[in-house]
Amino acid sequence: MKSKGQTSELLELLILTVGVSIALILSYFLFTTRTPKLSSILAESHQYDRLTDITNEFYYAKIAGTERTLSQLLADRIAAGENPVFYGKDWGNVDVDNQTTQFFNTYFDKNWRFSIKPPDELSVGIITSQSSTLQSSINEIKQTLPITLKDLRTRGKSVYVHFFFLDGENYTKCNDFQDINYTSCSIISASSCGLVGKQSEDWGDGIVCIANNYRQNVIVVISDEPSGGCEYCLKDYAPSAGPIANSSISNGINTSKVMNTRVFTMAGEFSCKSWCDKNASYCAPTCDQCCIKNTKTLLKEMAEQTGGQYYDLPESDDAGEILKLILESIHVKEIVFGYQIPKGIKRLQAFEMLIPVPTIENEVVKGYLYVW
């Protein structure tokens, strides 16, 4: 016996299917020029049958090798923000784009185009250390972020921010952000994320951890030291500086590309003098080259290789305004399948197809099918 919840879900799906069927049929007759000729009537009847078949297949037929329908696969594709979609060891990676193309090719050959405009809903991860040298930048973000998020939502863009602090120092804590709406916070460490070197500065491997374990459209790195820390610029550790930093950066870049994650970076201000004063007996004369210049070079490389942008924090420490610029510049891209609509086409039919996506606020995303 089905539970009330299951019955309710089936009823909702039935209503959605009937509604989409009606929308498809109305769309067809609205966008199609008809004549009273028998051949035209027969052609339209055939098209009506195809629309009925498409609706049934789209919402009910399970795709081979999965337990999901095409509408469900597309919902997962929208929620994940990437293709293929990984379903674990049972199904592995499912190429939803290819499944969608094959589906519509079956009905319309190469005379179709299907576009989906996901809601402007973004998950942004900010990774930084808990060090005292970046505390002023983090405080600036803490002050301006509530206003920025409220303003973006007023304009129709839903942004969620997740702070990821590299474990090791305690100048900034997750509790500092608990009162800001639409944010969350986690501490990542060597034990949870495989950080190396000075873990409180290993933002390269931290990116790998975030990309693999959290759903983030974009990652923002804020740092004033190379991945692995400036300690590796000390003369006793200098031979390890290059391999540690480069390996961490390569890991971050490669994973971001695979996961289709853009990385924006901000370079903070680092004082070699004050740092060397505390480590006088170990300070190498190459601190400026190894630490400051290397940090900026690595952060630039990370941003350029992943489609993001690099920012050099000014002395006025305007991290809050820079983060606002980043959040305003990012938009969810339209997902398009199929083929270009030929120029001068005289008979173009347009249909609206609804895709239930439980993970978004309005729970339904509109797709538009064009056939010629």
DSSP string, 259-301: TT-EEEEEE----HHHHHHHTTTT--TTHIIIIIIHHHHHHHH
* CA–CA dist 253, 248 (Å, integer): 9
Cβ of 185: how many Cβ atoms within 10 Å?
Answer: 18
271 token code pair:
């004082």
What is the b/e burial string over 297-334, where b = at least 16 CB atoms within 10 angstroms of the residue's CB? ebbbbbbebbebbbbebeeebbbbebbbebbeebebee
**Mean predicted confidence (pLDDT) in 142-165:** 91
Q: Residue 68 in contact with residue 76, Cβ under 8 Å? A: yes
**Mean predicted confidence (pLDDT) in 125-134:** 85
pLDDT of residue 26: 45
Q: Residue 151 in contact with residue 114, Cβ under 8 Å? A: no
Spell out the CATH class of 121-329: alpha beta
Residues of each domain in the chain carrying CATH 3.40.50: 121-329
With a cut of 80, say whether residue 176 has pLDDT above it.
yes
Return the closest-CA partner of residue 308 out of 369, 220, 237, 245.
220
Return the closest-CA partner of residue 116 out of 69, 156, 144, 74.
74
Residue with tokens 């405080």: 139
236 token code pair:
């006793």
DSSP code for 151: H
Return the closest-CA partner of residue 301 out of 258, 260, 248.
248
Residues belonging to the chain: 372
Cβ of 176: how many Cβ atoms within 10 Å?
Answer: 15
Give 284's pLDDT tier (boundaries 50, 70, 90).
low
* CA–CA dist 139, 350 (Å, integer): 50
Give 283's pLDDT tier (boundaries 50, 70, 90).
low
**Mean predicted confidence (pLDDT) in 93-118:** 92
* CA–CA dist 357, 363 (Å, integer): 5
* CA–CA dist 202, 196 (Å, integer): 6
Return the closest-CA partner of residue 270 out of 148, 66, 134, 92.
134
Give 1's pLDDT tier (boundaries 50, 70, 90).
very low
Cβ of 365: how many Cβ atoms within 10 Å?
Answer: 20
**Mean predicted confidence (pLDDT) in 244-272:** 81
* CA–CA dist 170, 164 (Å, integer): 13
Distances (CA, A) of 13 to 6, 21, 117: 11, 12, 21
pLDDT of residue 35: 41
* CA–CA dist 17, 26 (Å, integer): 14
SS3 45: helix
342: cis peptide before it, omega within 30°?
Answer: no
Q: Which helix (H) or strand (E) holds 159?
A: strand 158-166
pLDDT more than 90, % of the chain? 26
The overall longest dimension of the chain from CA atoms, in Å, is 96
99 token code pair:
């499944």
Q: Give pLDDT tens digits for 78-96.
A: 877 778 888 877 788 899 9
